[in-house]
Chain A
Amino acid sequence: MMETMAVHGPGIITEEEPFTPGHRACSGCGEALSVRLAAKAIGNNAIIVNATGCMEVVASPFPHTSWRIPWIHTLFENTAAVASGAEAGLRALVKKGKRPEKNVKVVALAGDGGTSDIGLQALSGALERGHDLVYICLDNEAYMNTGIQRSSATPFGASTTTSPAGRESLGQVTWKKNLPAIAVAHDIPYVATACPSYHRDLMKKVAKALEVKGPAYIHVLSVCPVGWRCATEDTIKVGRLAVRTGVFPLYEVENGQYKLSLTLTKLEPVDSYLKLQGRFRHLTEDTIKIIQERVNREYAKLVEMASKSSPSG
């Protein structure tokens, strides 16, 4: 199994599960899968700082923990700041000879609300200050833990409990906030998008982020069958379609240089992605056309940025 599981890049994936079974995530949870795969790439020599949210609740109902590695949860919006303190603390202790140098990595985990809304300030601060940490945003495109309320990461047209579709509304009326672009704007060494449907790519990117000196940001699209109103067995398929339609392209930005992770000669129509999800069920053909045009435009911009970037990255 070891051979088949080796991924490219510095990390070697083993059968170990730092994030254990027995967690209380819903059946078919894409976010739990993202965490599980990320944890496999992270390994044992790390400290996890977790924001309040689904992954905190499902992993740590006292007296149980799904974490085999050190883990701390404090609040919702401060994950990047707690991670900053942990990283600076480790660095200071090592420098003063109070802890051995073991290259312990600090990895922050937070949802899309904890990242793009309430935690954005703390994230910006941590990225700007240049802490040596990895921040992973587990994006399921709404506040799922509290019951599917919209966030700034909720896509246009999605019906949520606070952006419900109705006679006067098509659901979420704003476009998804581009968090990876905001991370890139901080001029940090590594930014990437990932999706557990592309599991090797995800693990490879996490392993790469761990090797980076300075802040690394990975934005992981994580399908939520409950909130997206799709079948539990379709989690992987829906994620794959998000990528193949260009709705959620996979790419890396190393030192400002964009690189697409997957070459898509032709984008699949967004309709194939939208129709699997109840949250988009109300959309008219006209609205789907608006979404399709936007996706085409955004994807073309990304392709252009990648083509302008130097191949050496």
Chain B
Amino acid sequence: MAKRVGLEVSVAVGDAAKLADVDVVAAYPITPQTHIVEHLAELVANGELRAAYIPVESEHSAMSACLGASAVGARTFTATASQGLELMHEVLYVASALRLPIVMAVVNRALSAPISIWCDHSDAMAVRDSGWIQMFVENGQEAVDNVICAFRIGEDRRVLLPVMIHLDGFSLSHVIEPIILPEQSEVARFLPPYDPPLPLDPEKPVTVGAFAPPFIYTEVKWAQEMTLEGAKEVILECWREFANTFGRHYSPVESYRTEGAKVLLMTMGSLSETAMVAVDKMRDEGKEVGLIKLRLWRPFPFAELRQAVRDAEVLIVLDRALSFGGPGGPVCSEVKAALYREARRPEVVGFVGGLGGRDISMADFEEMVNQGIKLAEAGSEREFEIFGVRE
């Protein structure tokens, strides 16, 4: 049986890729992703992981090398953060469009300038239209489990799409947590080998990445969209199977103490743990407050979200990214859009906070709830609020 051990989360993520028996890792170092790829390089060097480790000269080449490896049929993993993800930007679209199920750990970090090595979700949000499956995890166990799930989901013949697992930089990636690493044999049973339908192979030549005239481009893109939307069913199926095998449950939208809650907080990533403690305290004080944690970001879980928030009066969404000149944080604006047609829906208040590693404490969440309730009642001229900025 697998045992619970104390592990740095980054190391555990590397171990998860090893448990998936990846064939190729192509990566370029960037803080705070480094411990993941250092660990993988070490596993390869020691012969504990039989894979090719390609120490590329940039993130652009990291993702490009992943394209080549995945296209010949290799199970492929990489990890990056922040500027690295941005440098990959155009390559990400190719990975999803060519239906290459690469798995990437994104250790969320703020974008320059000014340079910041600390966490927010600007990097993840900037690639939300790239056609990847994107999910956020809040602790090391979730990271390990979902890296393994990511391969099964992405490589499923009904999906064949790349997957990003988002974990917060430093506040999650660098902490040591008790984590259960599944046995290799268990993972091998859960995760079938990668068997791409049309790999690059002289035995059966295919042309990949052809030039698409206007008469076909729309159809190609719609096929991609239908696949990404349809991937949700496969994700749910994978998580059900994971729960049956390993006993840990995941869902696209997770609710914490939402029974009878008039006010709901909504978070993503590692701050959810602090938010849970804040909710506990407010519940102890008799306040009817609950927490919604958005795990699946792409494909966006519309039905699950509507169901989860329908009975609340106020929904307070915390974004860790700014969409400059836009309607507020990306999560809040998408949540609002998802609820637009609902006859019964909560008043939605958006906060942007936790930028560039700024901590959001338990007291901050309480303050956000108090402010959010007032704003919901009184209304605001602003589309969103910035949390904790000094005047």
A interface residue numbers (CB < 8 A to B):
44-47, 49, 56-57, 60-63, 65, 67-75, 77-78, 80-93, 95-96, 98-99, 102, 104, 106, 121-122, 124-125, 128-129
Contact = CB atoms under 8 A, between A and B. Distances in A.
A50 to B, nearest CB: 8
Nearest to B220: A62
Given A47-B72, A75-B90, A89-B52, A81 B210 contact: no
B132 to A, nearest CB: 16
Interface residues of B, number: 44
B56 A84 contact: yes
B211 interface: yes
A89 B72 contact: yes
B113 interface: no
Nearest to B95: A74
B340 to A, nearest CB: 37
A15 to B, nearest CB: 18
The listed residue with most A CB atoms (<10 A of its CB), out of B23, B51, B62, B68, is: B68
Nearest to B71: A72
A62 B51 contact: no
Contacts of A82: 64-65, 67-68, 71
B339 to A, nearest CB: 38
A45 to B, nearest CB: 5
Contacts of A71: 205-208
B70 to A, nearest CB: 7
Nearest to A50: B209
A61 to B, nearest CB: 5
A44 B70 CA distance: 21
B202 A88 contact: no
Given A86-B71, A88-B69, A122 B57 contact: yes
B24 interface: yes
Contacts of A44: 202
Contacts of B72: 47, 86, 89-90, 93
The listed residue with most A CB atoms (<10 A of its CB), out of B62, B91, B213, is: B91
Given A77-B60, A82-B65, A92 B207 contact: no
A235 B211 CA distance: 27
B98 to A, nearest CB: 7
